Amino acid sequence: MDELRFEIIRSIGELSVSNKGWTKEVNLVSWNDRPAKVDIREWDPSHEKMKKGITLTKDEVLKLKESLNNYDLT
């Protein structure tokens, strides 16, 4: 199995921190030298280990943003 390569291009925001110090983050990440996508997942404090997450294209982010703007959180 090939080694997974990633580069966090830009940090967009931190959503939460667990008791063990892992942070759930939104970042712009390039996976295996491909164009960067918006990525939501948990990272260890050194950003060497990660948990499963989700990556979104620009179009998917725009649709998610629109859906959340239309969602009544109350």
1, part of any domain: no
CATH code of residue 52: 2.30.31.70
Spatial CA neighbour of 54 closest among 34, 17, 16, 27: 27
Reply yes or no on whether the pLDDT at 3 is more than 90: no
Reply yes or no on whether the pLDDT at 1 is more than 70: no
Q: Which pLDDT belongs to residue 54? A: 98
Q: How many domains does the chain have?
A: 1
Domain of residue 18, residue span: 6-70
10, part of any domain: yes
28, part of any domain: yes
In this structure, are residues 15 and 24 in contact, taking their beta carbons and an 8 Å threshold?
yes
> Which pTM value belongs to this model?
0.88
34, part of any domain: yes
66, part of any domain: yes
pLDDT tens, residue by residue, 37-64: 999 999 999 999 999 999 999 999 999 9
Q: Which residue type does 49 have?
A: K
